[in-house]
Amino acid sequence: MLTDATADLTWAVLLALARHIAKGDTWIRTGDWPGWTPTQLLGADVSGKTLGIVGMGRIGQAVAQRASGFRMSVIYAGRHPVPTPPGLTWEWHPLDTVLAKSDFLSLHVPLTGTTRHLIGRRELRLMKPTAYLINTSRGPVIDEAALVSALEAHTIAGAGLDVYEHEPMVSAGLITLPNVVLLPHLGSATLETRVRMGLICLDNIAAVLGGRPAPNRVN
């Protein structure tokens, strides 16, 4: 239900990071654009780069499928390898290898005892200094203090976040950094997705009131 909306948003964040879209928009709105220059807001190519995915569930796989349009190599870390769709090449690797090889790293894991602070100081130091980190999963998967330090030190090139460790609070350190894109938890925020969510809720309510099991019960 949330898969496509969240995967699409992940790509929006990735492209915004790579091409300084948010910063360019701000320049225009504030009147700070000095006019075109050849070195202005130089970004990074996306096509042909390596996309690393941590967590290859439904959303992770949807993000990976979209990478084919950009001719990207896809590597991923997860509990086990997953079947690769025909015509695509996805490579399973241990997390440390994915961290070290990725130009763009996207997180798609649930928050559990083992994934809390999955990405911390050690993991960030394994990444390329030109790499970008994207998180549209759960905020506490990243040690936010470690991320701020890594961004300040240019240990990585930038980060795009839709979720935060202490949501709705956002670290002041993140807000003041120029190499981040920050969104207010928009992962499923499309009209179509929210309508489907509402209809599923109604189906579950109707089932329970009719004496039937809820079709989408959690436990």
Q: Are 193 and 5 in contact (CB under 8 A)?
A: yes
Q: Is 194 a catalytic residue?
A: no
Q: Are 140 and 112 in contact (CB under 8 A)?
A: no
Q: pLDDT digit string (tens) for 91-110?
A: 999 999 999 999 999 999 99
Q: Is 138 a catalytic residue?
A: yes
Nearest to 66 by CA among 80, 92, 46, 45: 46
Q: Which of 20, 66, 108, 138 is catalytic?
A: 138
- All structural domains of the chain with their residue ranges: 3-26+44-188, 189-219
Angle made by CA atoms 194, 199, 203, in degrees to the nearest 5: 150
Q: pLDDT digit string (tens) for 6-35?
A: 999 999 999 999 999 999 999 999 999 999
Locate all alpha helices (DSSP H) within 31-143, ordered by sequence: 58-67, 95-101, 121-126
| pTM, 2 dp | 0.92
Say yes or no to pLDDT of 42 above 90.
yes
Q: Which of 79, 152, 154, 167 is catalytic?
A: 167
Architecture of domain 3-26+44-188: 3-Layer(aba) Sandwich (3.40)
Cα(102)–Cα(105) distance, integer angstroms: 6
Say yes or no to pLDDT of 204 above 80.
yes
Stretch 29-44: mean pLDDT: 95
Q: Using alpha carbons, list the distances in angstroms from residue 77 to 99, 100, 165.
A: 9, 12, 22
Q: Which of 58, 93, 116, 185 is catalytic?
A: 185
Question: Who contacts 197 (Cβ-Cβ below 8 Å, separation ≥6)?
Answer: 1, 2, 188
Question: Who contacts 30 (Cβ-Cβ below 8 Å, separation ≥6)?
Answer: none
Locate all alpha helices (DSSP H) within the chain, ordered by sequence: 3-19, 21-30, 58-67, 95-101, 121-126, 144-152, 172-175, 191-209
Cα(83)–Cα(56) distance, integer angstroms: 10
Q: Is 192 a catalytic residue?
A: no
Element (H, E) at 105: strand 104-107
